[in-house]
Amino acid sequence: MILHSHIIGKGVPFVILHGFLGSGDNWKSLGNNFAENGYEVHLVDQRNHGRSFHNEEFSYELLVEDLKVYCEHYELENFILLGHSMGGKTAMLFAVTYPNKVAKLIVADIGPKAYPEHHQALLEALYLLDFTKLKTRIQADEFLSEYIKDIGIRQFLLKNLYWKNKEELGWRFNLDVLIRKIEEVGKALPAGSYFGKDTLFLRGDKSEYILKTDEILIKIHFPKAKVYDIANAGHWLHSENPVEFAHFVVNFL
């Protein structure tokens, strides 16, 4: 099966991968920005996310193979690859697995190291939400607010709501599988992985996902990597400071 995507613009192919519980729609504004700079932007939904297919299996190896099938379908060669968070992990593994397909790599606020699982409380709140009782987005937001205090995170999650039918809301992501396979999300890039082309790592200056000490490991896997901070931004750096994020990306390209 081919991953769902939204394709904008014409020019050099530029593939963007969203983070955990996100979708390509999260990148529409920046996608339009990049398209205006002469790129054919592919906003891809990874498996079990967005409008892409649901599957009982979930791992970075499978996400990489999904992307390979997608690129073969659209005849994408020598393309730019950008990934945020979980999407950044997919992008890194794709680049080291298929280096001849990637011209330049951009990774947003995630490193190649392993990360401890930290989504349990959020996933539990989503699991407790009962769509047989909650019939509007406002009701869903009110319920989630008891468990997730950050309104920005709630709004990000609620973008995944859709009408399964005239009577029932549902999540576009495959919540059951993502809960069951959550340990996959934090896995490290395999030892010995190497990508020798131009690479850009961007981190939010308020985020702790990429520490100064992590730059040593980044350079081992990606010797041509440059690491820059996005001001006044946390983990969602591309939405918290999109102007500076776009500036760094366009200059790098």
Contact call for residues 66 and 46 (beta carbons, < 8 A): yes
User: Which amino acids are annotated catalytic?
Assistant: 85, 176, 235
CA distance 9 to 211: 35
| CB 24, CB 44: distance < 8 Å | yes
Q: What is the CA radius of gyration of the chain?
A: 18
Gap between the Cα atoms of 240 and 229, Å rounded: 13
Cα(91)–Cα(184) distance, rounded to whole angstroms?
15
- 149: Cβ contacts below 8 Å, ≥ 6 apart: none
